[in-house]
Every structure is written in C-alpha cells, then in structure tokens.
Amino acid sequence: MTTCVQLNTGAKMPVMGLGTWKSAVGQVKAAVMAAIDTGYRHFDCAYVYQNESEIGEGIQQKIKEGVVKREDLFIVSKLWCTFHEKPLVKGACQKTLANLKLDYLDLYLMHWPTGFKAGEELFPTDDKGMSIPSNTDFLDTWEAMEELVDCGLVKAIGFSNFNHEQIERILNKPGLKHKPANVQIECNPYLTQEKLINYCQSKGIAVTAYSPLGSPDRPWAKPEDPSLLDDPKIKEIAAKHKKSTAQVLLRFQIQRNVTVIPKSVTPQRIVENFKVFDFKLTKEEMATIFSFNRNWRVYTMSTAKTHKDYPFTAEY
C-alpha cells in the first residue's frame, strides 16, 4: 500500500497530511506535535491561515527532540492573493519561511488564481463587499514562483482552486520553466471532481483533496446542509470494515491516488485519520461512494465572483 505519491519533480509526497486551516493559535502547535508523533510527515499550511509561526514552533520542537529531521518532512504553504504582483512573490514566500522557521518549502502553491489588491488587508473589498482585484495575470505570478524554485526557496510549485482551463493556460505558457507539480482542490464524495482529477493526472500533476470530510466545522455551515460524516450509506460501508466514516472518506481519495489533508486539532482524531492503510474499499464500494456526487461546493469564494480569474464558472 502506497503512502506516497510521486511528483513530476521526482519528490515523494506523503498521501496523508495534516490540514491547518482554522486550527487556532493555542492549539495548532500541539496538533502538529501530536501528528508528528503519530507518523504524519506532510503538513499543509498557508500564509492566510495566520498560524504558521505556531506550526513552525511545533515542527522545530520535534526536530530538536530528534523525532524527525527536516528532510523527513514535506511542508506545503500557499501564496496569498494579495501577493500576486511579481515583485511581491519572493517576499511573501520568505515571510512564510520565517514564520515556519524553515529555509525551504517542499511545495508552494498559488492559493487562488485571483489576484487581490496588494496591502495589509488580506481580503480587500469594495463598498459592495466584493473583492478588489489587482491588475495581475497569474501567468506572471507563475514566473515569479518559478524563480523561487531556481533560487532554492521552494522545491516544487503548483496551485489551488484552479479550473482546467486555467491549468491549461499555465501548461501552454510559452517558455514554461517549471511544470506545476500539484493542484489542491476541494474534493469529497459530494464533489468528486472526476473530470478535473483525470485531466490533472493525465498531465502528470498530482492532486490533493482539501475538505475530504466535507468541512463540518466551516463557520458558515447551515443546519440543512448535507453532512457526509452522517451519511447512512457511508456509515454502512464503515461498519463493514470496522472503521469510522472519516476513515472511509479518506481511504476513498487515497485509492484514487489523491492526497488528503484532513484538519484536526484533536489528538485522538489525528491518530484515527492516520489509520487508513490497513484496509481497502472494494470496487463496488468505490462506485457507491462516487455515486454520491452532487457537485456541492463549500468553498465558493463568492466575494470574488466578479473577478476575471474566478475559477468556478467553468464546468471543471
């Protein structure tokens, strides 16, 4: 059973990572340390989550204790939308590295294709509450990210929340220096993303699923929203394998060769989520889970709906 996906750079990315969005300061350091003790080696971070320095403390502590070496770890972070202007990219990456207390990242992703107005404000909005765009093109931002690879600050680059037309634009870019190694997208049985995943994998781009459990702790959840973890059909499959519904949802992605980054700050769940390498879903069970797709997206970034690079108007 594979525990890594090989990137087109030759590097190996562990298929199970710890997500850190909404992991509160005061909790995330302990979560990172518990995860390293459990066996996690892949950590998914981002500048916009505003908790990278605490994550860095947790990592450093475990390196100091001799539990892991830096080279055992696979650390991912993301360039936020307000840093899309070419001259700002390197500084943004260096800020993340300083917070994480690292001298390189294993993977750096463009968080969204949409550039926002530069400045202190992470979500600059106009008087109608819509995002204020920057006058940037993500192809130029990509060139600045390629320079980060060339100067050794990052080992690989990719993007998150891009549609296939936007990915194609990058792949067809004249003078492309570094191919995207990974794309991170929202993906779970209610949003199976088959077309996009098949497209990316056919182009040698590894895929990571965020919110693989349907993000039950998202701040804007409504009581009537569908809940994956309570889905009776998934519960039935889980009972058959003597596993939890979360473990089945994670296993589903791993069997598609998709990396998963479930977020948790609860030590017992961090351990539970990692125990997905000792069972296998049958073809029928995989087909059943695929049949739940309803193209239901939790992360729509609706304030950027009018942005020229808004990704979710395309079919996939």
SS3 assignment for 13-30? EECEEEECCCCCCCCHHH
- Cα-based distances in Å from 269 to 23, 53, 58, 204, 265: 14, 23, 18, 32, 8
pLDDT (average), residues 203-228:
91
User: Is residue 175 pLDDT above 80, yes or no?
Assistant: yes
Say how far apart CA 264 and CA 70 lie, in whole Å.
22
Per-residue confidence (pLDDT) for residue 107, from 0 to 100: 98
Q: Is the pLDDT of residue 226 over 90?
A: no
As a whole number of angstroms, the distance between CA 77 and CA 258 comes to 18
Annotated catalytic residue 49? yes
pLDDT in the model for residue 2: 54
Active site residue: 40, 49, 190, 199, which one?
Answer: 49
Confidence of residue 1 (pLDDT cuts 50, 70, 90): very low
Q: Using one digit for the tens of pLDDT, what is the confidence trace for 91-114?
A: 999 999 999 999 999 999 999 999
pLDDT band of residue 220 (cuts 50, 70, 90) is confident
Element (H, E) at 206: strand 206-210
Q: What is the pLDDT of residues 65-88, one digit of tens each?
A: 999 999 999 999 999 999 999 999
Token reading at 60 = 């450093």
Alpha-carbon distances of 283 from 190, 250, 288, rounded to whole Å: 18, 16, 9
CA distance 169 to 138: 9
Q: What is the pLDDT of residues 288-308, one digit of tens each?
A: 999 999 999 999 999 999 999
Q: Which residue has the tokens 């202007």?
A: 85
Task: Report pLDDT digits (tens) over 123-168.
Answer: 999 999 999 999 999 999 999 999 999 999 999 999 999 999 999 9
pLDDT digits (tens, 9 = 90+) for 234-283: 999 999 999 999 999 999 999 999 999 999 999 999 999 999 999 999 99
